[in-house]
Structure 1
Amino acid sequence: MKESFGSFIKKLRVENNLTLTQLAAKLDLDSANLSKIENGKRDFDEKRLVLLSDTFKIEIDELKKEYFGDFIARKIYDSNCSEEILLVAEEKVKYLRSINTKQINLDL
């Protein structure tokens, strides 16, 4: 994906012939806020990913990939970080998962 998460939502909305008002109602938003999300002036609330998944019949993991990919990319861009930070973050995720796996095994 090379578009923002808001643009991704707008593309889904248009492809499914929904108006801003119709989609906003399904997401428990008002149309003005949805418009701001689509135009990148407001962030999408992670808690609404399930509603988005249900509305467009998209696997939640696919939406999380789009949502968090956009979120992380914007943080890196806004902070003027190098792309190396992604490698460091990936290693930290592996570490955190390994700790979690060890803890689960200890609990068993």
Structure 2
Amino acid sequence: MRETFGEYIKRLRSEHGFTLTQLAAKLDLDSANLSKIENNKREFDEKRLTLLSKVFDLDIAKLRTEFFSDFIAKKIYENNCDEETLVLAEEKVAYLKSKNS
């Protein structure tokens, strides 16, 4: 995906014909906060992912992938990390999985 998670939510909202106020109510947010999320001025709360998946009938695993990939990309960008950061992160994930198996 070549959009931020906030832009993704905005696109879904538009495609489904929801106003900002309507979607905000379904997500138990006020419309000002949803607007900030859609415009990348505020982060989406991970705790609302399940609710978002239900509103738009999305696969929760795919939605979590979109959410966390955006989170990771922003952190790497904000901290001016190089591509080696992702390689090392993948190695650490593999290590954590093997350790907890």
| Bucket of the pairwise TM-score, normalised by the shorter protein | over 0.9
Whose Rg is larger?
Answer: 1
4+ residue runs of structure 1 moved beyond 6 angstroms?
none
Shift, 1:22, TM fit: 0.5
- Length-normalised TM-score, structure 1: 0.92
Q: Which residue is equivalent to 2:19?
A: 19
Equivalence map 1:31-70=2 (5 Å): 31-70=31-70
- Length-normalised TM-score, structure 2: 0.99
Shift, 1:84, TM fit: 1.2
> Which stretches in structure 2 are left out of the alignment for 5+ residues?
none
Q: Distance in 1 between matches of 2:40 and 2:2?
A: 14
Shift, 1:83, TM fit: 1.1
Q: CA RMSD in A?
A: 0.4
Q: Distance in 2 between matches of 1:16 and 1:55?
A: 10
Q: Which residue is equivalent to 2:90?
A: 90
- 1:12-71 residue CA offsets vs partner (Å, 9 max, x unmatched): 000000000110001000000000000000000000000000000000011111100000
Q: Distance in 2 between matches of 1:76 and 1:99?
A: 25
